[in-house]
Amino acid sequence: MPSKYFPNTLTECLFVLTVTFAFAQSTIFSGMATVMTDTIGRDLNMDDQVVWITSACLLTNGAFVLPLGTLSDLLGRKPLALTAMALTTLATLACGFAPDGVTLIIFTALMGLFSAAAVTPAVGQLGAVYSTPSRRRNRAFACFSAGNPLGFVVGTFIAGVVLEITRGVSVLGGRDRDGNGNRTGTGGWRVCFWVFCVLTAGFGVLVKWTVPKDKVVFPDDAGAGASGAGSGGDAASAASAAAGEGGRVSGWEVLRRFDLIGAVLVTAGVSALSAGLTLTGSAPQGWATPYVIVLIIVGVILLAVFILWQSIYKFPLMPLHIWKDRNFSLVITLLSTGNAAFTASSFWLCLYLQRSQGLSALWIAVYLLPQNINGLLVNFVCSLILHRVSHRVLMGVGALAYLVSFILLAALQPIRYYYWAFIFPSLLLAVLGADLQFNVANSYVMSSLPRHQQSLAGGILSAVNKLLSNIVLSVSTAVYYAGRKRANTDDTGLAGYRAAFWMLVAIAGVNLALVPFLRIKRVAVGVEGADGDVRALTESEIEAGSSGEDGLTPGGGGGQSGVGDGEKEKGLEKEKEKMEV
């Protein structure tokens, strides 16, 4: 049976697929860029500027995703998603026609901005449709969670196949011969952008067809903070918003509720900090370069002022009360650090396979294919066990998988069977860690804010992820060059790669050390009876998997997935009081 929001199951499945693609757009592009950056650099003579092909997209995406999340909740998710997907398609198309490196960087920056505008309404609508824990929600979120970790691998596969097919073919005047007179067909990278453009256009059409319409509504006390993430606070407000009470707000009300000052502060702060970290690798004096230091300091100061402003403004861009919940803060920290290390490991592994092993783009895609397959299997299993297994255990297993994966990469040796001995098991373990942690974190974070703020929840999740990924990648770049310089090896040596991977091992160790401090167990599920009352499922019913397809959390609307024991007991007590009345 399809959800009540969709006419049939096919539409519901396409909706989840569309949301997954919207969230993974920037990650897919990062994977594509890793494979085709060298080709673009040779074709457009970009030299050190090539790093900005990826960084510009990540910078704008991370800087704007939080204000766009709030704006999506205020203006309506579906209209913003449609507009954003259309603009992303145009920006991607323009990238394929870029005549020089500067123009290409500008277009990729616009691509990051527009994809951020598509991410927040799509994720917000997913959280609104599946606002209550149930088996259907577990399956939907497991499919969605596969997008971000696997997006990088999918991107490398697309670029690898396209570049292999277009090898030796000149596209739009691209240099078709190298210095030795051999045919290269470097313009094939343009085709990669056009293929990605077709994908964004296709999913843009699906947004129109599959994403349910939403109503811009606010609870009576929209400015008041909830009683705390995960405690059922603001449940009444969320319920009234979901029911459509209050009606559609006016344009002036939207402007009054939008935190413009906060949006400027967080955008400028993230941009300055990300730019400073990205420029470190190409700066004349590295971290000691004056403009790098200034950008980093300015970024930190602006972000500090943003946090202060959020504590005093009536309609904050990012409600600070959600960070008071230790579980929320820990889950975000675990997810963002693990995902950042996963992204950096994928980047350095691809670079190692290209430079040290001399593999073509297509062979790199083939080498990474097992990660895709294992990721699908892990998410399928997650959809079956998410409500049965302790979330702390799942986060712990994910952290341990990260640690072993990065240790294997750090132990790379120039032996004949290096792939099967080190890389293959590392790929399987890395995606296991990413998918387990993302499933738990996504479920918890999306349940920490009420239904009418689901785009904001998705914005927080994406913003922290992008910022940490940029920081870790930048720092690992500095570690790579330092390791290579200390060992006095050339570009194909292993010392630099080992140094970068050992840094990721340290991050995974911190990730694992934080897991015992979590106090989340498993999804709280409930069932609605024929008389409309909500009761908690018994342990035997949970184990038997008899929860309703649209089960409700004990304690009312906007319930918390994976809440701690204290919050569960409060919710059950409240429900008993309702039933007695």
- Tens-place pLDDT, residues 280-320: 766 777 778 898 899 999 999 999 999 999 889 888 877 78
Q: Which of 27-36, 483-492, 541-550 has the lowest mean pLDDT?
A: 541-550
Check the CA dihedral 19-20-22-23 and report its sign: positive
C-beta separation of 85 from 200 below 8 A: yes
Reduced to 3 states (helix: H, G, I; strand: E, B; else coil), residue 259 is coil
N-terminal to C-terminal alpha carbon distance within the chain: 33
Do 411 and 370 belong together in one domain? yes
Q: Which of 8-17, 119-128, 206-215, 251-260 has the lowest mean pLDDT?
A: 251-260
Q: How many CB atoms neighbour CB 100 within 10 A?
A: 11
Bigger pLDDT: 536 or 137?
A: 137
pLDDT value, residue 578 = 39
At position 527, the amino acid (one-letter code) is: V
Tell me if 164 is assigned to some domain: yes
151-159 mean pLDDT: 84
Do 422 and 453 belong together in one domain? yes
Which span out of 143-152, 299-308, 517-526, 557-566 was modeled with the highest average pLDDT?
299-308
Bigger pLDDT: 513 or 470?
A: 513
Do 562 and 457 belong together in one domain? no
pLDDT value, residue 425 = 94
527-536 mean pLDDT: 38
Q: Which of 34-38, 72-76, 320-324 has the lowest mean pLDDT?
A: 72-76
Tell me if 241 is assigned to some domain: no
From the number of C-beta atoms within 10 Å of its C-beta (0-12, 13-18, 19+), residue 465 rates as buried
From the number of C-beta atoms within 10 Å of its C-beta (0-12, 13-18, 19+), residue 491 rates as exposed
C-beta separation of 550 from 3 below 8 A: yes
Reduced to 3 states (helix: H, G, I; strand: E, B; else coil), residue 535 is strand
Tell me if 532 is assigned to some domain: yes
Do 382 and 486 belong together in one domain? yes
Residue 158 has pLDDT above 60, yes or no: yes
C-beta separation of 561 from 568 below 8 A: no
From the number of C-beta atoms within 10 Å of its C-beta (0-12, 13-18, 19+), residue 440 rates as buried
The CATH number of whichever domain residue 125 belongs to comes to 1.20.1250.20
Q: Among 469, 492, 517, which residue terminates a domain?
A: 517
Bigger pLDDT: 224 or 156?
A: 156
Q: DSSP string spanning 35-102?
A: HHHHHHHHHHT-GGGGHHHHHHHHHHHHHHHHHHHHHHHHH-HHHHHHHHHHHHHHHHHHHTT--SHH
Tell me if 279 is assigned to some domain: no
Which span out of 21-35, 49-63, 330-344 was modeled with the highest average pLDDT?
330-344
By residue range, what is the domain housing residue 531? 526-580
For the stretch 345-378, pLDDT in tens is 988 888 888 777 878 878 888 888 888 888 888 9
Tell me if 240 is assigned to some domain: no
Do 30 and 168 belong together in one domain? yes
pLDDT band at 562 (very low <50, low <70, confident <90, very high): very low
Do 348 and 474 belong together in one domain? yes
C-alpha 88/C-alpha 107 separation (Å) is: 10
pTM here is 0.74
Q: How many CB atoms neighbour CB 492 within 10 A?
A: 13
Q: What's the number of domains the chain is made of?
A: 2
Residue partners of 581: CB distance under 8 A and separation at least 6:
none
Do 506 and 565 belong together in one domain? no
Do 431 and 450 belong together in one domain? yes
534: phi then psi, degrees, rounded to nearest 5: -110, 130
Q: Among 492, 517, 542, which residue terminates a domain?
A: 517
91-117 mean pLDDT: 91
73-83 mean pLDDT: 82
55-76 mean pLDDT: 78
Q: What angle do CA 31, 270, 478 make, to 5 degrees?
A: 60
Tell me if 573 is assigned to some domain: yes
Do 574 and 443 belong together in one domain? no
Do 394 and 542 belong together in one domain? no
Structure tokens at 176: 């078709």
For the stretch 206-261, pLDDT in tens is 998 888 876 554 444 444 444 333 333 333 333 333 333 344 455 566 667 778 88
Residue 9 has pLDDT above 60, yes or no: yes
Tell me if 18 is assigned to some domain: yes
pLDDT value, residue 558 = 35
β-partners of residue 527 are: 535
Residue partners of 150: CB distance under 8 A and separation at least 6:
24, 371, 372, 375, 376, 431
* Element at 363 (helix H, strand E): helix 361-385
Do 356 and 457 belong together in one domain? yes
139-150 mean pLDDT: 77
Q: Among 500, 517, 534, which residue terminates a domain?
A: 517
Tell me if 90 is assigned to some domain: yes
Do 468 and 558 belong together in one domain? no
pLDDT value, residue 223 = 41
